[in-house]
């Protein structure tokens, strides 16, 4: 998709840093990028980069520094558990040259959690209460161990259910560019037939982005053409151009209802 260009209103951006050898080794398939991207899009904060890196301190520190300086909001997922390879909190502290220690409130939450559990708050688990100086806790309603925000970095769990619960709290605090509007036109033209016309439509409608997504399913192939932008009139005008193009090429355009899976 070409990016909508609207230089007059620079929009806030986000990145996701996924910390975990288990993702890089193929053992686990990341599920957090998709969820984060969808949620952030509803408040007008596009994810402009996602990066998966190993549990190596120097790599994590360098990536936190680089990405946090380039985007408005950096999210991290993974590496905040109780084991020796859970180094994200320490690396974020190091990236901002902050001290890190067991945080009294985080410790209290873990104490309450383990008091009701059959397990003890041992030294390894207490690692999960290590929070950099000056950071703000992010509640973990699932398993108590909090995430945190330091500067523009949101340190969150890798477990998708916990990550999603933490994100629920963060989303209302973000200053976004307003929701990105999308209109989807579905048709049964092959992408190569529509490509030239879509290029023209993208050029003629510079404030919107035009993307095309072919899918090969049981009913033959299907092309979803998505127009995205912030200006409802511009998005609608471009979507109508797409419908006209599809008809000119002998296809049957079908406009998807908002929210319908494209």
Which helix (H) or strand (E) segment holds residue 177: the answer is none
Q: Any contact of residue 196 with a copy of itself (CB under 8 A)?
A: yes
Q: Which residue has the tokens 């049981």?
A: 218
Q: Where are the beta strands (DSSP E) in the chain?
A: 14-19, 47-53, 73-77, 100-102, 130-132, 136-138, 147-150, 153-156, 181-187, 209-217, 220-229, 254-255
> Which of 102, 108, 124, 232 touches a copy of itself (CB under 8 A)?
124
Question: Residue 67 belongs to what H/E stretch?
Answer: helix 57-70
Q: Please choose, from the candidates 242, 246, 243, the residue with its C-alpha nearest in 3D space to the C-alpha of residue 190.
A: 246
Q: What mask, x for binding a copy of itself by CB under 8 A, covers residues 207 to 236?
A: --xxxxxx-----------x-x--------
Q: Which one of residues 193, 231, 236, 254 is an interface residue with a copy of itself (CB under 8 A)? A: 193
Q: Contact, 205 vs 245, CB < 8 A?
A: no
Give the nearer residue to a copy of itself in terms of CB position, either 65 or 98. Answer: 65
Question: Residue 130 or 150: which CB sits closer to a copy of itself?
Answer: 130
Q: Judged by CB under 8 A, does residue 246 bind a copy of itself?
A: no
The bridge status of strand 136-138 relative to strand 147-150 is antiparallel
One-character DSSP codes across 137-176:
EE--TTTS--EEEETTEEEE-SSHHHHHHHHHHHGGG---
Position among 19, 30, 132, 181 found at the interface with a copy of itself (CB under 8 A): 30
Told to check if 47 binds a copy of itself by CB under 8 A, we report: yes
Point out which span in 34-42, 100-108, 130-138, 234-242 binds a copy of itself (CB under 8 A): 34-42
Please tell me whether residue 25 binds a copy of itself under the rule CB under 8 A: yes
Q: Is 53 in the site for a copy of itself (CB under 8 A)?
A: yes
- Point out which residues pair with 185 in neighbouring strands: 225, 255
Residues that bind a copy of itself (CB under 8 A): 1-3, 21-31, 33-38, 41, 46-56, 81-85, 119, 122-125, 127, 190-196, 198-199, 202, 209-214, 226, 228, 262
């Amino acid at each position: 998709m070409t990016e909508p260009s609207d230089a007059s209103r620079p929009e806030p951006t986000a990145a996701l840093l996924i910390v975990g050898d288990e993702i890089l080794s193929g053992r686990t398939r990341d599920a957090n990028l998709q969820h984060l991207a969808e949620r952030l899009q509803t408040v007008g904060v596009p994810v402009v980069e996602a990066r998966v890196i190993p549990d190596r301190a120097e790599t994590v520190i360098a990536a936190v520094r680089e990405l946090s300086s380039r985007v408005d909001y950096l999210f991290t997922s993974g590496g905040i558990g109780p084991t020796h390879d859970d180094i994200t909190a320490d690396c974020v502290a190091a990236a901002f040259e902050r001290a890190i220690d067991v945080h009294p409130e985080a410790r209290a939450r873990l104490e309450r959690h383990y008091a009701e559990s059959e397990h003890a708050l041992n030294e390894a688990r207490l690692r999960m209460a290590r929070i950099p100086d000056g950071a703000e806790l992010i509640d973990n309603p699932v398993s108590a161990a909090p995430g945190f925000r330091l500067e523009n970095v949101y340190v969150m769990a890798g477990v998708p259910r916990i990550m999603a619960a933490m994100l629920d709290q963060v989303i209302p605090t973000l200053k976004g560019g307003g929701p990105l509007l999308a209109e989807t036109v579905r048709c049964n033209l092959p992408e190569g037939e529509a490509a030239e016309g879509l290029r023209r439509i993208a050029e003629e409608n510079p404030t919107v982005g035009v993307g095309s997504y072919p899918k090969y399913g049981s009913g033959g192939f299907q092309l979803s053409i998505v127009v995205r932008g912030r200006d409802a009139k511009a998005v609608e005008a471009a979507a109508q151009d797409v419908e006209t193009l599809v008809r000119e090429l002998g296809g049957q355009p079908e406009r998807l209802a908002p929210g319908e899976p494209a």
